[in-house]
Chain A
Amino acid sequence: MKKVKYFLGALALLALASCKEDAPFLFNDVATLQFGPPLSAIYQSGANAAGANRSYTFFYKSPDTRQDTVFFDIYAIGGPSLKDRSFKLKQVQVDGVNNAIPGTHYIAFDNPDVSKNFVIKAGQVHSLVPVILLRDISLKTADAVLKFNIIENENFKLGETDYLWRRLDFTDRINKPAAWSATYQTTYYGTYSTVKHKFMMDSTGELWDQAFMSVLQDPVAPDPARLTYYMTVIKTALINYNNAHPGNALRDELGNLVVFP
């Protein structure tokens, strides 16, 4: 009799224990940190890697502008926390380039004015990393390269290897916007040169910087009619320039003729 009771009791316990909601897999065992795309682009394939290399120029800014801030998106993996979590970045040297000098070309990452912003806020998994660039006179003649990595600290382990770094090429000269992509180079702009870029600016009164070109080339809602209008204006201006300078057609900084497709 006792055995039967034990048997029924075990059966009841089994029945109760058998129905249980699956615990969600929260990835909260280890908090890691890595760079990523803007929030608006997190579902776009390739956006993560595409944002690794950025460029910036002070060229379009007024002469009064002595510093500017470029933001990078960073993501905490492993879920939000109830408290603010600081993180650390460190510049890494790149061979064969003019590496940016802290205090000269940018405000050092360990400067409290900057590092205080290296925080993933409580309840958040995303933050913007401000990198404060300084308009040093040397940028008029040479581009600077700032490559930096996430480094491990008490709050975060390292995330995916491919997304632990960002590189920023910056200058005070005109530079090639990322929107001057291979596709658009083939169809509209041709080979990049600073002379061509400046000519486009002078012909249209537009900056032809990343912000302006991104609107024309918006991947969701591009405006080829407006782009074609500008290219017609530019091509006409180039022909008129060349006609006005017989034997001395517009050439770029490398001596090549400025041409458009």
Chain B
Amino acid sequence: MKKIYTILGLTSALFIFGCSKDIGNYDYAPGEVITINGIEDSYTKIAAVDKITLDPEVSSTEKDADFECFWGVYDSRVLGTLVIDTIAKTKAIDYLISQSPKDWTLVFGAKNKKTGVSKYVISTLKVGTQFTRGWYVLKDDGSQTDLDLFKSSVGIVPVDKVENVYSIINGKKLNGKASLFSFQYNYRTNPTGVYANYRALYLMSDKDVSVVDISSLKELNDFNHLFYEAPATKAPSIVTWGYLGGNYVVNDGQLHSLYANLATNTGHFGARRIKDGVNTPYKLSKYFMMGSGIQQNPIFFDEMSSSFVSCVANSTVLNLLTDGTGNKIPVNNNNKNLLFMGTKSGSPYTGYAILQDKSNPSIKILSSLTPVSPKLTITASDTMKVTDKIYNASNYTLNLDDENMIYFTVGNEVWSRNLSNKFEQRQFIAPAGEEITFIRHRKYAGTASGEAPFKYNYIMIGTKIGANYKVRMFTKTSGNLSPDPAVTLDGKGSVGDVIYISPVNSTYLNNY
């Protein structure tokens, strides 16, 4: 009986203690706060060349904190379990970058050993190679095209040069004369048997194309492998981009496209696009415009019909355009030759064309172009006088997004023309013995972290001196070139195009 009472008593006790008062922990005293300073949001480094050298300041609201620290690197794009490669277990780090070229995440952790409280700081570690930063010059020797690299690891002024770097890496040159570069940050192909996206640079001559991985300069695709069915004639003139993953190649005046919006594309350009329902022949000029905004697609010019045309990504035909309000020159069948067309502004999308009348070739008109699909507004703003310098010009470039100017060459001189008031001014005289082969306006804002030393805004003038080239790059004030170039590149051959590649930048608006 006693046992029974004991069991009942214990059971009762359990019931009683089962309901206890909530006494909680309502201590609202602030917890320990660890502060880490001295780590940037982003670092850009060259693999096997650069070090990451840091010694961040670590402090705590707790007195006498004793920290243990670590540095790690991981690939944030890998799905699943996060694998952190610990590269140091100290607060200060002096680490030679050994990661492969791509974006990594750098993490620093500090833990107060006395309290167990930790703090982590992450930043982006952009790893490039010696090829992912510098000036590239596309040049030819009259029959074959190659690439020179002017490395600029500390600032926009190059410090080192690698000549013929394309043929050194790939064991061949491109046939033909150098024409244009084009950069694509997500070209998809499978050189290793597995499809992946590459930061890719297109090298184009008048007879060939090569797409290279900018990290290694190794060729990803040549002309014959760039298409589902390679065209019989190798005569590329344009590589450019449009809205919704529209990638475009003009070869032998015919438009080929790649709808790259979906990750299933194989990096192959399609068959020649049809112009209309009866397959009317066409031949696109080498001059074009490209925009950088939403629903903005390239503008081409069909030399056979004297018509401006465009395109959209996922289509089998050219997009025929219609006249904008108050067009001074018809978009279609305007009986003009195109002497030049280029982009003035990527967004809002505007450009200029120089048109020459077919019936009366003495009439040359500088017209502004404003595409708003399917319309193209052409304003015949400027019928040139025979006495105007631009009337007899041969090379042209527009001041992209900057002053309302167009630059052109007349003999061995570079001139500018104010597009608002038609004022012309000589900007440069090439020294005796030099022939001007190329002019181009390029700029890079360098707004990303660590990119400030590499920003530039230059008018480039390329000349040929015998078998050598010289590219002078001038800063400008109100559109007028500085007396002396800020950067000069020298090498062998004749220049077709010059581009500055940064491991951070992904957008390169590129036309003549």
Type the 1/0 row for A227-243, where 1 means its CB is closer than 8 Å to any CB of B. Answer: 01101110110011001
Q: If the complex has contacts A225-B266, A232-B316, are A239 and B273 also in contact, measured as CB distance less than 8 A?
A: no
Chain A residues whose C-beta falls within 8 Å of the C-beta of B262 in the assembled complex:
221-225
16 more contacts with CB within 8 A, not counting A229-B229, A239-B274, are A8-B7, A222-B262, A225-B259, A225-B262, A225-B264, A226-B266, A229-B228, A231-B316, A232-B270, A232-B272, A232-B273, A236-B272, A239-B277, A239-B279, A240-B279, A243-B279
> Is B204 engaged at the interface, CB distance under 8 Å to the other chain?
no
Rounded to whole Å, the gap between the CB of B12 and the closest CB of chain A is: 13
Residue from B228, B264, B270, B273 in contact with A221 in the complex, judged by beta carbons closer than 8 Å? B264
Nearest-CB distance from B386 to chain A (Å)?
44
Residues of A within 8 A of B (CB): 1, 4-5, 8, 218, 221-226, 228-229, 231-233, 235-236, 239-240, 243
Smallest CB separation, A238 vs chain B (Å): 9
A-B residue pair count with CB separations less than 8 angstroms? 66
Cβ–Cβ contact A225 & B7, under 8 A: no
- Given contacts A222-B262, A236-B279, A243-B279, A228 and B268 within 8 Å (CB-CB): no
B263 to chain A, nearest CB (A): 8
Q: Can you offer 8 A-B residue contacts whose CB atoms are under 8 A?
A: A4-B4, A223-B265, A224-B264, A225-B262, A225-B264, A226-B228, A229-B228, A239-B278
B248-296: which have CB < 8 Å to A?
A: 257-266, 268, 270-274, 277-279
- Which label, helix, strand, loop or mixed, suits the secondary structure of the A interface? helix
When distances are taken between beta carbons in the complex, the residues of chain A under 8 Å from B314 are 224, 228
Q: Which one, B1, B229, B270, B279, contacts A228 given CB within 8 A?
A: B270
- Bound CA–CA A224/B258 (angstroms): 9
Q: Is B315 an interface residue (CB 8 A)?
A: yes
Chain B, range 473-489, C-beta contacts under 8 Å to A: none
Closest Cβ of chain A: how far from B254's Cβ, in Å?
11
* Residue on A nearest B228 in the bound complex, by CB: A229
Q: Which residues of B contact A223 (CB under 8 A)?
A: 262, 264-266
The answer to whether B271 and A233 touch across the interface, beta carbons within 8 angstroms, is yes
Q: How far is the CB of A261 from chain B (nearest CB, A)?
A: 10
B residues apposed to A, CB below 8 Å = 1, 4, 7, 228-229, 257-266, 268, 270-274, 277-279, 314-317
With A8-B7, A240-B279 as given contacts, are A225 and B274 in contact (CB-CB < 8 Å)? no
| Chain A residues in 8 Å Cβ range of B229 | 229, 233
Chain B residue numbers with a CB within 8 Å of A221 are 262-264
A228 contacts B278, C-beta separation under 8 Å: no
Q: Which residues of chain B are within 8 angstroms of A226 by Cβ–Cβ distance?
A: 228, 266, 268
B-chain residues with CB within 8 Å of residue A1 when the two chains form the complex: 1
B260 vs chain A, min Cβ distance (A) = 7
Query: In the complex the two chains form, what is the Cα distance from A225 to B7 in whole Å?
Result: 80
Residues of A within 8 A of B7 (CB): 8
**In the complex, A33 Cα to B95 Cα: how many Å?**
65
Q: How distant is the Cα of A201 from the Cα of B265 in the complex, in angstroms? A: 23
Cβ-defined contact, A224 with B4, below 8 A: no
Question: With A8-B7, A235-B274, A236-B271 given, is the CB distance from A225 to B279 under 8 Å?
Answer: no
Minimum Cβ distance to chain A for residue B502 (Å): 29
Q: How many angstroms between the C-alpha atoms of A231 and B266 in the bound complex?
A: 17
Most buried by B among A221, A223, A225, A236: A225
Task: Write out the residue numbers on chain A whose beta carbons fall within 8 Å of the beta carbon of B258.
Answer: 225
Q: Cβ of A5: which chain B residues have Cβ within 8 Å of it?
A: 4
Question: In the complex, what residue of chain B is closest to A229 when comparing beta carbons?
Answer: B270
- The answer to whether residues A225 and B268 also contact, given A8-B7, A235-B274, A239-B274 and a CB cut-off of 8 A, is yes
Question: How distant is the Cα of A243 from the Cα of B276 in the complex, in angstroms?
Answer: 13
The residues of A that contact B265 with a CB separation of less than 8 Å are 223, 225
How many Å lie between the Cα of A233 and that of B317 in the bound state? 11
Point out the residues of chain A lying under 8 angstroms from B268, CB to CB. Answer: 225-226, 229
B278–A243 CB distance below 8 A: yes
- Closest Cβ of chain A to B74, distance in Å, is 28
Complex CA gap A225/B187 in Å reads: 14
In whole angstroms, how far apart are the Cα atoms of A228 and B272 in the complex?
11
From A5, which residue of chain B is reached at the shortest CB distance? B4
User: Could you say which residues of chain A place their CB within 8 Å of the CB of B272?
Assistant: 232, 236
Closest 4 CB pairs of A and B: A229-B270, A232-B271, A239-B279, A232-B316
